[in-house]
Amino acid sequence: MKGRTVDSLTTHRLFRLAESYARKLRDWPLFPVALAALAIALGGMAVAEIAEEVFEGEFRVWDERILLALRSGTDGSDPIGPGWLEESVRDVTALGSTVVIGWTVLSAAIALLLVGNPRGAAYLVLTISTGTVLTFLLKHGIDRPRPDLVAAQAEVFTRSFPSGHAATSALAYLTLGALAATLLQRRRLKVYVLLLAAFAALCIGASRLYLGVHWPSDVLAGWVIGVSWAAASACLAVVLKQRQYL
């Protein structure tokens, strides 16, 4: 009995000590910067690992099985489901296009300008544009061909890895969701907006698989890039806002 009491007191003290250190770490002025660096580092390592596995052929079986599972014909030319589903998926994938993302981000930036926050508008545009440029540089550098296992159901003009639609939609919609969440008071609404943004990014990435224009590993890498870049930019925005730069 006495041993249990001692163990309980020791656990309680350790918990209090950890809580104290966590509070000090959270109050550290550069804590958001450290989180941003961590997000970029983890995202970079994850994408590098995925790219390495792709070059070594480790993803090949997984990639092929998923694409073939989304086809009903033996020749890979017919996506599963009725015709209206295919048209609906094309509509969803358009939400991640350069035109739609650019229009949405530009509209949000103009709104920030109209409410007197030009720095916020510039930061928003800079965040999305740098993430987009990074994605296309990776496409050019890795130079992975598009899937030839199934018939593509949409026009494509760039290389395959990583998925630009998956990366830019995750980056743009999560960043805009985080921005919208700062304007809301109720916690439920904040969570709802962020979940809605995440759901949109997931659907857009999945649509690229259904249309046969990307390997699953392309989409996975795109999601990692978008999420890590959005997380890093959100953390840096906290510091800039504290110092009244935004």
Query: 219 with 206: CB under 8 angstroms?
Result: yes
- The architecture in CATH of the region 31-242 reads Up-down Bundle (1.20)
Helix-helix angle 118-142:216-242, to 10 degrees: 150
pLDDT single digits (tens) 184-229: 889 999 999 999 999 999 999 999 999 989 999 999 999 999 999 9
CA distance 116 to 108: 13
Per-residue pLDDT band at 19 (split at 50, 70, 90): low
Backbone angles phi, psi at 61, to 5 degrees: -60, -45
Q: What is the percent of the chain with per-residue pLDDT over 70, rounded to a whole number? A: 85
> How many Cβ atoms are within 10 Å of 153's Cβ, its own excluded?
17
**Which pLDDT belongs to residue 119?**
92
| Cα-only R_g, the chain | 22
Q: Is the dihedral of CA 192, 198, 202, 204 positive or negative?
A: positive
Per-residue pLDDT band at 241 (split at 50, 70, 90): confident
**Which pLDDT belongs to residue 6?**
47
Q: Side chain identity at 2, as an amino acid letter?
A: K
pLDDT single digits (tens) 65-102: 999 888 886 666 788 888 899 899 999 999 999 999 99
